């Protein structure tokens, strides 16, 4: 993998993103024109130009809060990934675990975040821990399912072949089941990372010292929808960047798919 490869891929990505970019620009234009013509007040619906201007003036505060959100997202997601991986391996070797644990996890996915977030903050305070827990709550199970299903998708002939070569359970896992799960893993990763940002912001909204969530709450209470929207744009940009990172990681880790 060299620089030329990466820049070629980037160029391809840009070309594919062009239609989406055009439609986003058109929406923003339409919005701007509507605010201009209707004369709606800026405290109800600020124009994109105003959002951009106010956001730029508040850039230092926004950056500081975005960094806090990014920290919460990444640490929560890292914890979630590590747990999902360890447990997926355990489940693959001890199928009984799956039947014991999956119902519990399914129930955990039915909990409404709005109700849970304030409780978790109440129990664990305004620090990093409640954010990690909430991000993990949202992303852990999808990642676990992606991995476990991925192992199951291993070609039976490949398993049989490895067995005939004298491979034990561990080698079969390492040489066949784990690589077979990669596409599933990355599909899960791309989706989960976007949920992770939303979960982090939710956790901050329920109570935090810093973060885009608390920034949004304060801006709303001060009747500053322009700043609310500026923070929303920052969080979208953050999500898109993480999504792109996940795509890049997939691209880098599966060289056979780009040859």
Partner 1 sequence: MTLRLDDLRLTRGVTHVLDGVSLEARAAEFISILGPSGAGKSTLFELLLGSLEPDGGQISFNGQPVQGRDLFAFMPQRDALMPWRRVIDNIALGLEVQGLPRRAARERVRPLLPRFGLDGFERHWPHQLSGGMRQRAALARTLVQDRPLLLLDEPFGALDALTRTRMQRWLEARLQETRVTTLLVTHDVREAVALSDRIYLLSPRPARVVEVFDVPQPRPRMETGPGEEALALETRILRTLLEGERE
Binding site for partner 1 (CB under 8 A): 155, 157-158, 160-167, 171, 175-176, 179, 182, 254-256, 259
User: Which tokens go with 27?
Assistant: 């929406």
**Which residue number, 117 or 147, has a Cβ lying nearer to partner 1?**
147
Length of the chain: 259
Q: Positive or negative, the Cα torsion across 227, 215, 245, 105?
A: negative
Nearest approach in angstroms of CB 159 to partner 1 is 9
The pairs formed by 28-34 with CB atoms below 8 angstroms and a separation of 24 or more are none
**Which residue number, 59 or 169, has a Cβ lying nearer to partner 1?**
169
Nearest approach in angstroms of CB 181 to partner 1 is 11
Q: Which residue has the tokens 């893993």?
A: 185
Number of other residues whose CB lies within 10 A of the CB of residue 62: 20
In whole angstroms, how large is the CA radius of gyration of the chain?
22
Burial of 244 per CB tally in 10 Å (0-12, 13-18, 19+): middle
- Measured CA to CA, the distance from residue 137 to residue 119 in angstroms comes to 13
**Which residue number, 3 or 256, has a Cβ lying nearer to partner 1?**
256
Nearest approach in angstroms of CB 198 to partner 1 is 33
**Which residue number, 39 or 166, has a Cβ lying nearer to partner 1?**
166
Nearest approach in angstroms of CB 257 to partner 1 is 8
Nearest approach in angstroms of CB 37 to partner 1 is 56
- Measured CA to CA, the distance from residue 169 to residue 126 in angstroms comes to 45
**Which residue number, 70 or 146, has a Cβ lying nearer to partner 1?**
146
**Which residue number, 39 or 170, has a Cβ lying nearer to partner 1?**
170
Nearest approach in angstroms of CB 157 to partner 1 is 4
- Cβ proximity of 176 and 162 under 8 Å: yes
| Dihedral-angle region of residue 160 (phi above 0 means left; psi in -120 to 50 means alpha; beta otherwise) | alpha
């Amino acid at each position: 993998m060299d620089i030329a490869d990466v820049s070629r891929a980037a160029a391809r990505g840009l070309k594919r993103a062009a239609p989406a970019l055009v439609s986003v620009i058109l929406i923003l234009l339409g919005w701007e024109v509507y605010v201009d013509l209707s004369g709606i007040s800026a405290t109800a619906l600020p124009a994109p130009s105003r959002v951009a201007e106010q956001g730029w003036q508040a850039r230092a505060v926004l950056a500081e809060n975005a960094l806090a959100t990014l920290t919460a997202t990444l640490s929560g997601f890292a914890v979630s990934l590590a747990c999902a991986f360890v447990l997926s391996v355990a489940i693959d070797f001890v199928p009984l675990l799956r039947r014991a644990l999956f119902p519990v996890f399914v129930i955990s996915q039915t909990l409404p975040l709005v109700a849970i977030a304030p409780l978790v903050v109440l129990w664990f305070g305004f620090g990093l821990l409640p954010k990690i827990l909430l991000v993990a709550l949202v992303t852990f199970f999808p990642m676990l399912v992606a991995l476990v299903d991925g192992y199951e998708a291993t070609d039976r002939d490949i398993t049989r072949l490895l067995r005939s070569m004298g491979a034990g359970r561990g080698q079969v896992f390492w040489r066949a089941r784990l690589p077979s799960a990669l596409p599933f893993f990355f599909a899960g990763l791309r989706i989960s990372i976007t949920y992770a940002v939303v979960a982090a912001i939710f956790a901050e909204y329920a109570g935090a010292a810093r973060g885009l969530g608390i920034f949004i709450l304060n801006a709303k209470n001060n009747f500053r929808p322009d700043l609310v929207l500026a923070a929303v744009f920052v969080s979208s940009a953050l999500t898109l960047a993480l999504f792109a990172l996940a795509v890049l990681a997939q691209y880098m880790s599966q060289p056979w798919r780009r040859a």
